């Protein structure tokens, strides 16, 4: 059967129409669909007892005007297998947004580079600490079992070209602090950065330690060495931080959320300045105290400059942490986040290590924070043993009303 030229053209038109319809349909679903991508940092060389704390600039990150829906991370080896915290302790990782002056050379990753160069401006979260805790995302050993997804219809808006200052472009940096504890004399001590286990007599800037400083991040900076058992053969290896980002393209149907990070060492109530010390120590409880009562709680007060609905909440604690609660001015619980400890040997369930934190996903609209409302943050640690250099951060996402 011959179609003739007209018939052929007609058929072609129908086929083209069908393709177009399919394409636009595909585009619509594509736009609403959550996209996901897995990235790796440059390799992190390790040997037993080694410490790496590097900041990687201009990391791979989803492009365009988007809403982030989740951010997950873990250490993997050269084959991509997850690495146990018992071998490499993930002290912390933090993802910070910055604006880089266009046409300027990229800073090379290094641990000492200050962030206050004029070609590089940190585009921090909504607050509240002065200076520190400017990250958008960041966790530590609890990464594998901590939910980070942002529920619909909310999203963390990034890549809006109208927000970058003229002549600058948005980029992302990632700080990763890894402590190799293979063959360590005291793996937990290395993870807590006890100074006596490290080959240090001054901090990374050559400053002497404060009197009675027994441990914390000043003792385990990039390139330091934690004590390993005598006579063991040092096995070098490369690891990577693998990070997985989920996002959707920006659209008007997404409700943007602001990121606030509170610190239990914030002295704001006294000083009206959000001076955050970032770390503190937990003393061992007094002899004679019943073991069950050996809990050390610390409190601070804070507030946010706008009102809104809490969409998500999670605490960041170190080993020994029990949980953390954020209260409203009237005493209501805004979010309570508890530590999850591992019980086995596989990555994600390492016995004795904090492997996760529970999170809060309030029913939309059910938990509100008022502008300037005085919030109370309480972090609890077990004080059966002393703990050094612990943290009490609380991360919330707020949809402004
Ligand atoms: C790790 O590097 C970051 C970014 O340079 C820095 O702020 C932090 O104090 C360092 N931590 C340690 C333990 O040196
Ligand atoms: C500690 O040991 C490491 C590895 O042996 C070495 O590279 C580093 O320079 C030492 N650091 C100090 C502060 O002694």
Q: Which of 127, 137, 4 is closest to 61 using CA atoms?
A: 137
User: How far is the C-alpha of 180 from the C-alpha of 288, rounded, in Å?
Assistant: 36
Query: Is the pLDDT confidence value at 325 over 90?
Result: yes
Residue ID of nearest Cα to ligand 1 atom 6: 111
Distance, CA 221 to ligand 1 centroid (Å)?
7
Ordered DSSP codes for 143-175: GGG---PPPTTEEEEE--TTTSPTTEEEEEEEE
**Residue having the nearest C-alpha atom to atom 5 of ligand 2:** 225
Lowest mean pLDDT: which of 174-178, 267-271, 334-338?
Answer: 267-271
For residue 223 the two structure tokens come to 């390139």
How far, in Å, are 133, 180, 200 from residue 89 at the CA level? 21, 6, 19
Q: Is 0.75 surpassed by the pTM of this model?
A: yes
Which atom belonging to ligand 2 lies closest to the Cα atom of 201? 13
Atom of ligand 1 nearest to the CA of 217: 13
User: Residue 55 Cα, ligand 1 centroid: separation in angstroms?
Assistant: 8
Q: Which one of 113, 129, 177, 190 would you pick to mutate in the ligand 1 pocket, going by the greatest count of ligand atoms within 8 A of its CB?
A: 177
pLDDT tens per residue across span 341-395: 999 999 999 999 999 999 999 998 999 999 999 999 999 999 999 999 999 999 9
**Ligand with smallest separation from the Cα of 226:** 2
Q: Which ligand 2 atom is at minimum distance from the Cα of 200? A: 13
Q: Which atom of ligand 1 is nearest to the CA of 91?
A: 13
Out of 12-21, 248-257, 381-390, which region has the weakest mean confidence (pLDDT)?
Answer: 12-21
Tell me how far the alpha carbon of residue 192 lies from the centroid of ligand 2, in angstroms.
18
Q: Distance between alpha carbon 144 and the CA centroid of its chain, in Å?
A: 12
User: Could you tell me the pLDDT band of residue 20, with boundaries at 50, 70 and 90?
Assistant: very low
Q: pLDDT by residue (tens digit) across 274-307?
A: 999 999 999 999 989 998 899 999 999 999 999 9
Question: Residues 363-389, buried b or exposed e (16+ Cβ, 10 A)?
Answer: eeeebbbeeeeebbbbbbbbbbebbbb
Counting ligands in written order, the one closest to the CA of 92 is: 1
Ligand at minimal distance from the CA of 96 is: 1
Tell me the CA–centroid distance for residue 177 and ligand 1, in Å: 8
* Closest Cα to atom 7 of ligand 2: 223
Question: 227 CA distance to ligand 1 centroid (A)?
Answer: 20
Residues with CB under 6 A from ligand 2: 199-200, 223-225
The residues, any chain, with a CB within 8 Å of residue 304's CB and separated by 6 or more, are 126, 127, 128, 260, 369, 371, 372, 373, 375, 398
The answer for residues whose C-beta is within 8 angstroms of residue 182's C-beta and 6 or more apart is 48, 49, 87, 88, 228, 235
Antiparallel, parallel or unpaired: β 354-357 and 280-282: unpaired
pLDDT at 323 over 50: yes
Question: Mean pLDDT, the chain, as a whole number?
Answer: 90
> In whole angstroms, what is the distance from residue 70 CA to residue 190 CA?
30
Ligand nearest to the CA of 201: 2
pLDDT digits (tens, 9 = 90+) for 73-92: 999 999 999 999 999 999 99
Q: Which of 388, 325, 387, 331 is nearest to 358 (CA)?
A: 325
pLDDT tens readout for residues 112-121 = 444 445 788 8
Whether a cis peptide bond, with omega within 30° of 0, leads into 153 is yes
> Which atom of ligand 2 lies at the shortest distance from residue 224's CA?
1
Atom number, ligand 2, closest to the C-alpha of residue 202:
13
């Amino acid at each position: 059967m011959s179609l003739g030229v007209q018939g052929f053209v007609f058929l072609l038109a129908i086929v083209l129409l069908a393709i177009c319809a399919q394409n636009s349909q595909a585009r619509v679903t594509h736009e609403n669909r959550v996209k996901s991508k897995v990235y790796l940092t440059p390799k992190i060389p390790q040997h037993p007892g080694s410490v790496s704390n590097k900041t990687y600039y201009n990391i791979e990150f989803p492009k365009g005007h988007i809403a982030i829906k989740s951010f997950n991370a873990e250490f993997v080896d050269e084959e991509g297998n997850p690495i146990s915290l018992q071998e490499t302790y993930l002290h912390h990782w933090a993802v910070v947004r910055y604006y880089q002056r266009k046409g300027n050379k990229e800073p090379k990753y290094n641990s000492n580079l200050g962030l206050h160069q004029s070609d590089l401006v940190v585009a921090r979260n909504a607050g509240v600490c002065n200076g520190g805790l400017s990250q958008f995302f960041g966790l530590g050993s609890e990464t594998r079992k901590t939910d980070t997804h942002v529920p619909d219809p909310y999203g963390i808006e990034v890549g809006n070209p109208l927000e970058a200052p003229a002549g600058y472009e948005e980029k992302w940096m990632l700080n990763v602090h890894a402590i190799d504890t293979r063959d360590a004399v005291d793996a937990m001590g290395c993870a807590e950065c006890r100074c006596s286990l490290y080959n240090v007599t001054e901090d990374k800037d050559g400053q002497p330690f404060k009197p009675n400083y027994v441990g914390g991040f000043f003792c385990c900076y990039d390139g330091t060495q934690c004590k390993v058992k005598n006579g063991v053969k040092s096995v070098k290896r490369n690891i990577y931080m693998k990070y997985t980002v989920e996002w959707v393209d920006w659209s008007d149907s997404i409700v943007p959320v602001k990121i606030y990070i509170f610190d239990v060492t914030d002295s704001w109530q006294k000083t009206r300045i959000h001076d955050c010390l970032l770390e503190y120590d937990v003393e061992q409880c007094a002899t004679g105290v019943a073991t069950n009562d050996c809990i050390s709680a610390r409190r601070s007060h804070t507030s946010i400059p706008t009102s809104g609905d809490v969409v998500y909440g999670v605490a960041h604690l170190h080993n020994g942490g029990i949980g953390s609660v954020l209260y409203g001015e009237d005493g209501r619980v805004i979010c309570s986040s508890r530590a999850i400890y591992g019980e086995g040997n596989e990555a994600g369930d390492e016995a004795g290590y904090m492997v996760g934190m529970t999170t809060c996903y309030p029913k939309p609209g059910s938990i509100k924070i008022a502008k300037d409302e005085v919030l109370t943050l309480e972090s609890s640690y077990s004080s059966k043993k002393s703990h050094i250099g612990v943290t009490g951060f609380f991360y919330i996402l707020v949809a402004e009303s």
